[in-house]
């Protein structure tokens, strides 16, 4: 699958989660346990998505476009802020003020980040690289996502080498922790391409 179709499928899936989570009630009991599962799915999907963009997509943008560094730096700045919000969700629980604050902030910032990528970066990138390169990049993203970290790791530097090496180590630990905690069973299904 070409890189942009692959990333778009992730975005559609995350935007769908935002739709459900937007204005989620701050109730108790069953409502909160349903909310926690949905938010865990969001944290997993976003952690994997941003990790593979940082491993492969942003380096390709830097290479392909004259203003690639500027676009990549801006996007990665947004991703780092996003990871801090996801970490706040990991560190708190439904019903706690910080949990709901971080969720609301993440939904707003996440929509803006996706719009920035799709509206400002993708058209330039698509015009600058050929179909074959988009396909190749798509395959790399698809392979990397299978072993990508499932937690945000806001303190891991977002540069591609660190993400590929230290990031992979973190991913192994994440997957072990997921299996032990039963969190693996909550993994969101891979989105279907549209």
Inter-helix orientation angle 30-52/3-21, to 10°: 160
Binding mask 56-75 for Fe ion (x = CB under 5 A): --------------------
| Structural Rg of the chain based on CA atoms | 16
CB 68 within 8 A of CB 61: yes
Interaction between residue 54 and Fe ion (CB under 5 A):
no
The nearer residue to Fe ion, 15 or 36, going by C-beta atoms, is 15
The nearer residue to Fe ion, 6 or 94, going by C-beta atoms, is 6
The nearer residue to Fe ion, 35 or 50, going by C-beta atoms, is 50
Binding mask 99-128 for Fe ion (x = CB under 5 A): ------------------x-----------
What does the DSSP assignment read for 129-175?
Answer: S-HHHHHHHHHHHHHHHHT--SS--TTS--SHHHHHHHHHHHHHHHH
As measured in angstroms, the least distance from the Cβ of 75 to Fe ion is 6
What does the DSSP assignment read for 35-99?
Answer: HHHHHHHHHHHHHHHHHHIIIIIHHHHHHH-TTHHHHHHHHHHHHHHHHHHHHHHHTS-TTSHHH
Query: What's CA 190's distance to the chain center, in Å?
Result: 13
- The backbone torsions φ and ψ at residue 124, rounded to the nearest 5 degrees and listed phi first, read -65, -45
As measured in angstroms, the least distance from the Cβ of 40 to Fe ion is 19
As measured in angstroms, the least distance from the Cβ of 118 to Fe ion is 8
Q: How many residues bind Fe ion (CB under 5 A)?
A: 2
As measured in angstroms, the least distance from the Cβ of 145 to Fe ion is 12
Among 2, 53, 54, 178, binds Fe ion (CB under 5 A): 53
As measured in angstroms, the least distance from the Cβ of 96 to Fe ion is 27
Binding site for Fe ion (CB under 5 A): 53, 117
């Amino acid at each position: 699958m070409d890189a942009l179709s692959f990333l778009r499928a992730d975005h559609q899936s995350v935007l769908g989660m935002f739709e459900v989570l937007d204005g989620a009630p701050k109730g108790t009991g069953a409502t909160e346990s349903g909310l926690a599962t949905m938010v865990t799915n969001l944290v997993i999907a976003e952690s994997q998505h941003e990790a593979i963009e940082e491993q492969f997509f942003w380096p390709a943008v830097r290479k392909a476009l004259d203003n690639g560094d500027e676009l990549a730096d801006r996007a990665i700045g947004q991703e780092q802020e996003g990871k801090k919000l996801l970490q706040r969700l990991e560190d708190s629980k439904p019903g706690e003020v910080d949990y709901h604050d971080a969720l609301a902030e993440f939904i707003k910032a996440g929509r803006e980040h996706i719009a920035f990528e799709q509206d400002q970066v993708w058209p330039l990138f698509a015009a600058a690289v050929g179909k074959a390169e988009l396909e190749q990049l798509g395959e790399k993203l698809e392979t990397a996502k299978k072993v990508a970290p499932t937690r945000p790791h806001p303190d891991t530097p977002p540069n591609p080498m660190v993400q590929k090496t230290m990031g992979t180590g973190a991913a192994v630990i994440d997957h072990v922790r997921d299996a032990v905690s039963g969190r693996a069973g909550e993994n969101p299904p891979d989105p279907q391409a549209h």
